[in-house]
């Protein structure tokens, strides 16, 4: 299956070792840590989940491979990754998965009501209602 990061539903900030995502409709936010940010970056333009599994099967220990597969399934379940029709023309660099840290997805819904109440939390310099 080819999956892609759902950029239309999520706003995000990439801090290299951590990515913070906010689902714009629900107000739920997520943090991605460990190898989680590197894995999500693979799916920015689309990536076949089988390619990730095949690559890791050759270069990673079995436990970490299972952790990554569970993590990708979590991203799909949360709607962070969605099924794509086809791969982009550029292939993702799977060597970015060289660090075998457990990928971590943390979900926070404790301030979702506040985030939903703030209609201008993601605007451009043009102001409301222009999204960044």
pLDDT of residue 97: 76
Domain assignment present for 47? yes
Number of structural domains, the chain? Answer: 1
Domain with 9 in it: what CATH number? 3.90.930
Least confident range of 60-69, 93-102, 113-122: 113-122
In a domain, 32, yes or no: yes
Residue-wise pLDDT tens digits, 28-44: 999 999 999 989 988 88
At residue 73, does pLDDT exceed 90?
yes
In a domain, 132, yes or no: no
Whether 60 is covered by a domain: the verdict is yes
Domain that holds residue 112: 2-117
pTM, entire model: 0.80
Q: Is residue 124 part of a domain?
A: no
pLDDT-based confidence at 106, cuts 50/70/90?
A: very high
User: Would residue 127 count as lying in a domain?
Assistant: no
Question: Does residue 128 fall inside a structural domain?
Answer: no
On whether residue 125 sits in a domain, the answer given is: no
Encode 34-53: b = buried (16+ Cβ within 10 Å), e = exposed: bbbbbbbbbbebbbbbeebe
Higher-pLDDT residue of 111 and 82 is 82
């Amino acid at each position: 299956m080819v999956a892609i990061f759902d950029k239309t539903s999520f706003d995000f900030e990439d801090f290299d070792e951590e990515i913070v995502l906010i689902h714009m409709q629900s107000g739920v936010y997520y943090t991605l840590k460990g190898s989680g940010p590197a894995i999500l970056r693979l799916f920015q333009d689309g990536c076949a989940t089988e390619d990730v599994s095949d690559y890791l099967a050759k270069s990673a220990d079995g436990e970490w491979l299972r952790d990554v597969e569970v993590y990708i399934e979590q991203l799909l379940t949360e709607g962070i990754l969605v099924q794509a029709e086809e791969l982009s023309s550029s292939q993702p660099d799977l060597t970015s998965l060289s660090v075998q840290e457990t990928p971590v997805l943390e979900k926070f819904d404790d301030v979702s009501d506040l985030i939903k109440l703030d209609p201008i939390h993601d605007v451009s310099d043009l102001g409301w209602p222009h999204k960044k």
